[in-house]
Structure 1
């Protein structure tokens, strides 16, 4: 009997240890924002985002900003690699954006030309380009970096980061990725040469992983297989990622009955051809993947560069200006209808989008929204569902107050302004019944 109890206690202890370990693991793997930040969603036809995607691909978006500028590219064979201009095919970038999010920055419940919760995937992918890099946890302890805030709630910066990630995937060859274009000098202007970089954008993964993108993985069936049509006809999980992107170039998505870009009959590696089948053989899928270097699939298609790309109002690149409605709050914890007392209004008196985030190190102060966006006068705003100003709403958790009265601070940062953080003083006090009906006192 005693042995049974000892065994039971031992087993329960093991389960408790496992539970604690798993809890810690979940916390470690939490996304950067514990609560969903708010963002701006532009027009339904995606015209603003398509312009931004072209501008980002040209290397001009946020040039000079070390966190968001497009790095230089590379070209050449494995033995003859060299730097080239900071550019990438706008066609590939647009198609990736559609596959990732249907080129949406916010959740589908958010009206166009208005604000609302940002689009966040289960794997901490944020926004249009579903950026996961650096978005799994706050950058500085429990505090977000400005880069994380901009990726999460500013469409222009989100697109810029996606473009940067894509060209970095391209530049991983030949050190840790194979090369497409052994016969074309791996020219980055050729769309087909971006096959491996596109594969890598979603994860250069193969059989046995959580999400394989290897075209010869048996989970995708035999070759040849249908071309992905980008219209919902086929489930995405029936194709490796790069074939989704190629499919949306072959069959452009439509919004309001209009194609978002011109059809491109981009060529996939023909897996019935021994040249490509041998290069992509599963036995070659080993780091650093040199045996997978392959010629450019034919026929070749070159990227088309827009004749002139200049910043415009609908690209959300205007210079914002910030003002706050107050810098002190006095909150009675159990008072009713005191929303105005608990709210700070952030106004953008300039242009473009103003990205902000708020944080506190005081556990009794609760911020309903960790980050948001305020609209400048040049930003289109659906007035029935859109408010140009942004709100920071504060709640007090009275159970965590160190005393019946406490003073704390909230810090508000403006991610795309080079100005000092604003500090808001919060004076919280609790009211308790004295025990005599109708009488109360404040401590």
Structure 2
């Protein structure tokens, strides 16, 4: 009996260890390859303008997918909708923590275009938007919203702003409230503590990335303020303290701070008023026992500036020029690469997003989505090319016959431009031997 018991224990241990070592399920992102995007100026002035304008709610106020929702205020018993904006400096601080306020990978030059920044969890661009950026189910095409978030900095920022606003509005149904003594006023920066925590995941001990301030992995309280200059490793702080740190100590470029510092207050975890509410025992959905008073001293957000030109927001009136609507490719000869490319040019202003797809399995589209740069947007040569090129290839093993006709559809989700259809004529010519004769090697 004892031997059987030991055997069972041994099996359970082995199974447990194997489950720990089992590879995690990979997340399939919206695009098979990183889409191409535009990276603005090194000083981040363009992105700072867009972040400011997005916080005002006016960036895409008539777009149901990217407009900001109405804010809420009040306690659990009197929650109501109010007319409020996002705190601009908070949004900027989140953008810096998420990506160093960059839309493209670090190899891409400023004022040019290249592969978008994509994280392992399908976080795209400046705001590292993950919500809705996974591969569509059941073979569906990527949506216009996915294309815009992955290629256009302005839409990426708008999506991040909307995500933050939605996190705020999750209280009290699925998030606790900050500011039970201040009517949970969204104009108070300190009241965004839980919403900011939620932007990166309202997670606690035992999860892949805990953001609970009392998780032992972060050490004892009080902790130093994060400095936003690389002095401290990010993994020593919960997410919301990283953001608070960049509000205290904004990043600098060429000696200039990107925004005015504000000494926003954290919940004092040495005070039982906050420590008891934030205890790990209260970290249970829907977190109704975690409602807290506004940390003091209180700091009010500045009203966002809402006066910007369309050029400074990378918006405008894009106009399409497509180099051709048909292409011929012979698969068994060395084709000139330029002969198998489609060029997308933007003769107008702003940025023109595009994506290309086909339902023909033998057609291979090298670039799934990208951007064409208008004449008013800075584009520093030689690193920057205003037009986009779609490289088309053929997989001859999937051709249904020696010659096949297929189609590629190119869409333009922000240009009010009808879909463009490109005909692909692929053919192969093979030399065949005489039956019954073979060479012996």
Question: What does the per-residue CA deviation read over 1:268-315, in whole Å, with 9 as the maximum and x for residues that have no partner?
Answer: 001001101011011111111111000000011110114552334121
Q: How does 1:168-183 map to 2 (within 5 A)?
A: 168-183=166-181
Q: Secondary structure at the match of 1:176?
A: coil
Compared with structure 1, are the counterparts of its residues 383 and 413 closer, same or farther at alpha carbon in structure 2 (3 Å cutoff)? same
What CA distance in whole angstroms lies between the structure 2 residues aligned with 1:311 and 1:179?
A: 37
Report the alpha carbon displacement of residue 137 of structure 1 after superposing the two structures with TM: 1.0
Question: What does the per-residue CA deviation read over 1:391-438, in whole Å, with 9 as the maximum and x for residues that have no partner?
Answer: 1110111111111111111010001123321111100011323459xx
Q: Is the 8 A contact 2:87 2:304 kept in 1?
A: no
TM-score (norm 1): 0.91
The partner residue of 1:212 within 210, 213, 220 is 210
Question: What does the per-residue CA deviation read over 1:355-400, in whole Å, with 9 as the maximum and x for residues that have no partner?
Answer: 0000111111111100010011110000221111111110111111
Compared with structure 1, are the counterparts of its residues 166 and 24 closer, same or farther at alpha carbon in structure 2 (3 Å cutoff)? closer
What CA distance in whole angstroms lies between the structure 2 residues aligned with 1:404 and 1:113?
A: 45
TM-score (norm 2): 0.91
Q: How does 1:312-391 map to 2 (within 5 A)?
A: 312-391=310-389
Structure 1 match to 2:266: 268
What CA distance in whole angstroms lies between the structure 1 residues aligned with 2:267 and 2:137?
A: 40
Structure 2 match to 1:75: 73
Compared with structure 1, are the counterparts of its residues 306 and 287 closer, same or farther at alpha carbon in structure 2 (3 Å cutoff)? closer
Structure 2 match to 1:433: 431
What CA distance in whole angstroms lies between the structure 2 residues aligned with 1:238 and 1:353?
A: 39
Question: What does the per-residue CA deviation read over 1:82-103, in whole Å, with 9 as the maximum and x for residues that have no partner?
Answer: 1112511011100000000000
The partner residue of 1:279 within 277, 299, 302 is 277
Q: Is the 8 A contact 1:39 1:117 kept in 2?
A: yes
What CA distance in whole angstroms lies between the structure 1 residues aligned with 2:25 and 2:300?
A: 46
1:399 partnered with 2:397: yes
Q: Is the 8 A contact 1:70 1:86 kept in 2?
A: no
Structure 1 match to 2:103: 105
Structure 1 match to 2:113: 115
Compared with structure 1, are the counterparts of its residues 113 and 140 closer, same or farther at alpha carbon in structure 2 (3 Å cutoff)? farther
Number of residue pairs aligned between Structure 1 and Structure 2: 414
Q: Is the 8 A contact 1:179 1:294 kept in 2?
A: yes
What CA distance in whole angstroms lies between the structure 2 residues aligned with 1:142 and 1:363?
A: 15
Q: Is the 8 A contact 1:149 1:355 kept in 2?
A: yes
Q: Secondary structure at the match of 1:432?
A: coil
Q: Secondary structure at the match of 1:49?
A: helix
Please give the root-mean-square deviation of Cα atoms over the aligned residues, in Å.
1.6
- In the alignment, structure 2 segments of 5+ residues that lack a partner are 1-17, 435-441
Structure 2 match to 1:11: none
Compared with structure 1, are the counterparts of its residues 51 and 307 closer, same or farther at alpha carbon in structure 2 (3 Å cutoff)? closer
What CA distance in whole angstroms lies between the structure 1 residues aligned with 2:377 and 2:335?
A: 32
Structure 2 match to 1:158: 156
1:85 partnered with 2:83: yes
Compared with structure 1, are the counterparts of its residues 203 and 24 closer, same or farther at alpha carbon in structure 2 (3 Å cutoff)? closer
What CA distance in whole angstroms lies between the structure 2 residues aligned with 1:419 and 1:353?
A: 13
Compared with structure 1, are the counterparts of its residues 24 and 142 closer, same or farther at alpha carbon in structure 2 (3 Å cutoff)? farther
What CA distance in whole angstroms lies between the structure 2 residues aligned with 1:137 and 1:74?
A: 32
- In the alignment, structure 1 segments of 5+ residues that lack a partner are 1-17, 437-443
